[in-house]
Amino acid sequence: MNEFRELAVGDDSAGARADVFLAAALSISRAAASRLLRDGHVSSSGKPVKPSQILTPGILLTVELPAPQPLDAPARDIPLFIVYQDADIAVIDKPQGMVVHPAPGHGEDTLVNAALHHIKDLSGVGGALRPGIVHRIDKMTSGLLVVAKHDAAHQALARQLKDHSIRRTYLALVEGNLKEDAGTVDAPIARHRRDRKRMAVDPQGKPAVTHWRVLARFGAYTLLEARLETGRTHQIRVHMASIQHPVAGDPVYGPKSNRLNLAGQALHALRLELTHPGTGQAMSFYASPPPSFLAALRKAGWSGEPLWQEAGEAAQ
């Protein structure tokens, strides 16, 4: 059975687009809000509301939330390393090379397919092909992400992502020698205007902020701790390339020469910190870099001394 909600537009939302307001009010993505609006599930005074409609204070939106649809993604017995799991969430250490959710060319070999086998219960907010998926990491990026096991947990985690209270710390091996010890890249990101498979720094893009700190210098390479304040597609990769220090091995934004013989970008989601959506407890999770990342570090000049535990400690 479909659920109905009524949302009043307050003075603080005056002039907002309907899709932006709805995404914030329901703690869903703007794309999901746009689908609800385009499909006629949002009305005001009996008239459908369009995604681009500018809202005025005092109007009342009636939102019809369709009942969850059966999952289209089949469960598959694919190995999956679950760092933590309870009744509300699961934290997964995704291997490099695994796609997060089904897409053209990756229909049944994704993290979602594996999670449906190993975890069973996943929220439906992400849609039939993205159950439980609160945030994503790229196929060739390894490391931590959290999935929600029911809709209330999903919405609570989505709110934390929106207000930047979820902290995501990465290890990034980048090209070149950064002279500064730390810095911030504050540059909006949008879809590349000519190549739609790429992202790019664009003044008209969405706000994007990446904080970075040098952990070690190897001459031709630098190991960084990179912390996301926002979570745009390819954010760290685009931002580091924009300051002339692309992530080593990045086939899209890096140099054509791959001197470390990497299979993909040397980027690893090291630590994830969040507030548990059920208990309110502060939680911190850590995932060691995979062997491929360590091998690249050794080729770059790393002697084996501990570096990234310090990165995780600093993120707290």
Residues labelled as active-site residues: 138
Structure tokens at 125: 């907010």
Torsion (CA) 279, 126, 109, 90 in degrees, nearest 10? 0
Which residue's structure tokens are 């890096």?
A: 254
Rounded CA-CA distance 275/49 in Å is 35
Count the neighbouring beta carbons within 10 Å of the beta carbon of residue 243.
Answer: 17
174: which strand partners? Answer: 222, 247
Which residue's structure tokens are 């090209």?
A: 175
Rounded CA-CA distance 134/288 in Å is 22
> From the centroid of its chain, how far is CA 148?
14
